Amino acid sequence: MEEKVLRNRADLSISLLFLCVCVCVFSAHGIIFPLQGEGGGVFVQMASEEPLNEIPGECPTPGDLGHAGWNILHTAGAVYPYKPSPLQQEAFRSFLYSWSHVYACSHCSYHMRRYLKRNPPVVTDKLALNRYLCEFHNTVNKNLAKPVYNCDPMVVLRRWHPTFPDMEDQPTIEEQMPSSNDWSRRRHRS
């Protein structure tokens, strides 16, 4: 049963990741996207220049990939809420399990899946998650004979939080959006 739940979670997260990648790639090339609104379908033309025939840069080295991966994980952990909702907890847990299936280093992703199985993600709050991610990173560093770091959450947050020491929880996009009732009132005032 647990394997089925994890597979469903991973399938959903992989689908969302794929959708995000597609939107980024297509929008960079000026593809038109249908957006649904109250008034029916609306089409938006994404601005772009002529598509490039070559993408600048080179394939990342394993070291580049590792640094980029840890940057994403630690920064996502740093901006995680102090009091996450059940949905936010499940989303981050699913993100970690999904990451372990799509990470572009097969032996790294295998070891991550093993780590997650032995040490399920601790997503109860910002401080616990940051300690968990640091301990996970230290486990990898030990296996690679690299230095380990102090996992006191405040030490971790000092390094990774974009606005340290001001670390107030930021409202989600949904919390920033006016409710449908607010939109109705605005429309009737005009």
Does residue 87 lie within any of the structural domains?
yes
Residue 142 pLDDT more than 90? yes
Residue 125 pLDDT more than 90? yes
Does residue 186 lie within any of the structural domains?
no
| The two three-digit tokens of residue 125, written as one number | 């709050």
Does residue 100 lie within any of the structural domains?
yes
Average pLDDT score over residue span 62-76: 95
Does residue 122 lie within any of the structural domains?
yes
Number of structural domains the chain divides into:
1
Domain range enclosing 140: 65-164
- Specify the pLDDT at position 46: 55
DSSP per-residue string spanning the chain? -HHHHHHHHHHHHHHHHHHHHHHHHHHHTT-EEEEEETTEEEEEEPP--SPPSS-SS-PPPHHHHHHHHHHHHHHHHHTS-SS--HHHHHHHHHHHHHHHHH-S-HHHHHHHHHHHHHS----SSHHHHHHHHHHHHHHHHHHTT-------HHHHHHHH-TTTT--PPPPPHHHHSPPHHHHHHHHHH-
Residue 157 pLDDT more than 60? yes
pLDDT tens, 10-61? 555 554 444 444 444 444 444 444 444 454 554 555 556 778 888 889 999 9
Q: Which of 109, 122, 107 is nearest to 10 (CA)?
A: 109
Residue 58, CB half-sphere, CA atoms under 13 Å: how many? 4
> Is the link from the previous residue into 165 a cis peptide, with omega within 30 of 0?
yes
Q: The domain that contains 133 carries what CATH number? A: 1.20.120.310
- Specify the pLDDT at position 79: 94
- Specify the pLDDT at position 134: 98
Average pLDDT of the chain, as a whole number: 79
- Specify the pLDDT at position 48: 63
Average pLDDT score over residue span 157-174: 81
Could you tell me which residue, 188 or 52, shows the higher pLDDT? 52
- Specify the pLDDT at position 27: 43
